[in-house]
């Protein structure tokens, strides 16, 4: 069991002022995997003070110096790859075949990406008698979710370092250990005191204290839309910048000319990875009526072929849900979908065969779903796919856009040009064309209730910048 008892503030491991602690439970077996301190508002005050004091000198470092630190973090992060990966398996339950590849390996890639982009902070643009420059926004509060903890964390920290910001970071209560390890990494590379600070505790107390702190200039939040609204309200009193990365209910349009087998393969993998706990999961498959039943059969056989079980088993694709509460919420959605008249193609509320403990939910597929059902409108955040039939492409686009969310989407058509024409009409921040893979150099973020910011790419660094125009 991992035990942490200090926070990393101002370049030192310090005793928390708050005296609480919390146990982290392994979702695969119910055992305690870590114990971490729970801080309070005074710990947040100390961390923000350190970040504020460090900002003056850190924001005056050169882009090359900051890039150098990012590269050192990448090297040190690679040395800690196995430790970080183990925290993801123990605390989230993500299977070993995905935990490093999806969460921890990108740490070095993302650090290098922003090490290269840091130089843009020193560029100036001339417009008539003006010169436009960018400056770091200041002290950033970073609040992260539990579903992709390392990836989300570095997606905020690396651009903030590149821009010259200082920061206070909070992880989700369910998945804290990676953040303590990341503090060890910052310490090992000699990142100047106060640039990176971390605290831990409940979102309600620590998250609110960070979001409303008068010395925080920007809050960057990834999590549920409900908590994102609370963060925005708390941050509004002194007009902080708020960057939100929220939930999704993303559509995947499959036309009659698509390579159906490849499309269904792509769609099932996308929905079931991380046991469906993925913000941009393509959970609504919108399929042309002429190939609908064939698609349902393929989705059934593909889902039933996925190995479910112990995340430490290298053959396992689907691990447990992150918590008993998350599992129950998914089971309730499955029951409701059946009551609403959706056809259960595979999966359901039974425990998978051979498993007696752990928060497991069977990979589940529903057919004959209409887009007004709760299972098609609400973010289930579990291994549940809904399949919706369309007859014209206009109808397919209407269905795709009939959602309060707009994080991601996908289209699989006969060719890339046809797919791109459809993609341009979907109101979402990204679209995978005929199986296109994610790209860490491209901006990631949502329309509508999926958020208002962008992470990754040069746009991801611009979130951490103020713009100044100098008139001559």
Provide φ and ψ at 245, rounded to 5°.
Answer: -120, 105
Question: Catalytic pick from 76, 91, 243, 245?
Answer: 245
**The pair of three-digit structure tokens given for residue 404, joined into one six-digit string:** 């309060």
Which pair of structure tokens corresponds to residue 60? Answer: 């005056």
Q: Does 180 bind ligand NAP (CB under 6 A)?
A: no
DSSP 436: P
Report how far Cα 347 is from the mean position of its chain's Cα atoms.
26
Apex 299 CA angle, 323 and 398, nearest 5: 90
Residue 211 contacts ligand NAP per CB under 6 A: yes
Applying CB under 6 A, does 346 fall inside the site for ligand NAP? Answer: no
**Candidate residues 451, 454, 460, 464; the one interacting with ligand NAP per rule CB under 6 A:** 451
Among the listed residues 59, 97, 202, 401, the single contact to ligand NAP using CB under 6 A? 202
By CB under 6 A, is residue 407 in contact with ligand NAP? yes
From residue 220 to residue 239, the character string flagging contacts with ligand NAP as x (rule: CB under 6 A) and all else as - is --xxx--x--xx--------
CB of 234 to ligand NAP, least distance (A): 6
φ, ψ (nearest 5 deg) of residue 23:
-100, 140
C-beta separation of 143 from 223 below 8 A: yes
Q: Is residue 350 flagged as an active site residue?
A: no
Structure-token pair, residue 81: 């790859």
Measured CA to CA, the distance from residue 152 to residue 92 in angstroms comes to 14
Give ∠ CA 95-100-104 in degrees, rounded to 5. 130
CB of 20 or CB of 436, closer to ligand NAP: 20
Q: Is there binding between residue 153 and ligand NAP (CB under 6 A)? A: no
Q: Quick check: 146 binds ligand NAP (CB under 6 A)?
A: yes
Q: Give the 3-state secondary structure of residue 414.
A: coil
Q: Which of 26, 208, 283, 409 binds ligand NAP (CB under 6 A)?
A: 208
To the query of whether residue 465 is one of the catalytic residues in this protein, the response is no
Q: Measured between alpha carbons, how far is 72 from 67 in angstroms, rounded to an integer?
A: 9
Residue whose tokens read 């611009």: 462
Decide if residue 246 touches ligand NAP (CB under 6 A).
yes
Place of tokens 């991380």: 274
Judged by CB under 6 A, the stretch of 49-57, 138-146, 296-304, 459-467 that binds ligand NAP is 138-146
In the bound state with ligand NAP, the residue whose beta carbon lies nearer, of 35 and 119, is 35
Residue 87 in the binding site for ligand NAP (CB under 6 A) = no
Residues identified as active-site? 245, 279
Residues that bind ligand NAP (CB under 6 A): 143-148, 152, 170, 172-173, 202-204, 207-208, 211, 222-224, 227, 230-231, 245-248, 279, 379, 381, 407, 446, 450-451
């Amino acid at each position: 069991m991992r035990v942490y008892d200090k926070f990393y503030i101002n370049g030192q491991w310090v005793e928390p002022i708050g005296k609480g602690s919390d146990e982290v439970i392994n979702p695969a077996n119910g055992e305690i995997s870590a114990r971490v301190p729970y801080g309070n508002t005074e710990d947040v005050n100390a961390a923000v003070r350190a970040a504020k004091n460090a900002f003056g000198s850190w924001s005056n470092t050169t882009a090359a110096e900051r890039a150098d630190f990012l590269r050192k973090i990448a090297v040190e992060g690679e040395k800690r790859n196995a430790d970080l990966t183990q925290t993801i398996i123990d605390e989230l339950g993500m299977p070993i075949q995905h935990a490093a590849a999806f969460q921890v390996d990108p740490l070095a890639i993302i650090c290098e990406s922003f090490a290269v982009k840091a130089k843009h902070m020193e560029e100036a643009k001339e417009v008539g008698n003006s010169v436009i420059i960018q400056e770091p926004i200041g002290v950033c509060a970073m609040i992260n979710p539990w579903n992709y903890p390392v990836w989300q964390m570095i997606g905020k920290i690396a651009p903030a370092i590149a821009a010259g910001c200082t920061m206070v970071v909070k992880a989700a209560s369910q998945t804290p250990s990676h953040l303590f390890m990341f503090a060890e990494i910052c310490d090992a590379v000699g990142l100047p005191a106060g640039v990176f600070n971390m605290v831990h505790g409940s979102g309600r107390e620590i998250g609110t204290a960070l979001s409303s702190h008068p010395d925080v200039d920007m809050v960057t939040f990834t999590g549920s839309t409900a908590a994102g609204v609370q963060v925005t309200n708390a941050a509004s009193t002194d007009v902080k910048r708020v960057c939100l990365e929220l939930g999704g209910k993303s559509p995947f349009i499959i036309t009659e000319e698509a390579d159906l087998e490849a499309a269904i393969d792509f769609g099932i993998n996308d929905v079931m990875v991380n046991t469906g706990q993925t913000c941009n999961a393509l959970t609504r498959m919108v399929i042309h009526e002429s190939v609908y039943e064939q698609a349902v059969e393929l989705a059934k056989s593909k889902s039933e072929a996925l190995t479910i079980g112990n995340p430490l088993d290298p053959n396992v694709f689907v691990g447990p849900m992150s918590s008993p509460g998350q599992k129950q919420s998914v089971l309730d959605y499955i029951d409701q979908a059946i009551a609403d008249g959706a056809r259960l193609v595979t999966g359901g509320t039974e425990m998978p065969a051979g498993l007696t403990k752990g928060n497991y939910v069977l990979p589940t597929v529903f057919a004959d779903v209409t887009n007004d059902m709760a299972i098609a409108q609400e973010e289930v955040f579990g291994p549940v796919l809904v399949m919706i039939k369309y007859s014209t492409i206009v109808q397919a686009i209407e269905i795709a856009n009939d959602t309060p969310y707009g994080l991601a989407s996908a289209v699989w058509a006969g060719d890339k040009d046809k797919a791109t024409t459809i993609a341009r009409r979907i109101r979402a921040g990204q679209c995978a064309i005929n199986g296109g893979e994610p790209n860490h150099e491209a901006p990631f973020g949502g329309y509508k209730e999926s958020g208002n910011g962008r992470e990754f790419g040069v746009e991801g660094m611009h979130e951490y910048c103020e713009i100044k125009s100098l008139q001559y």
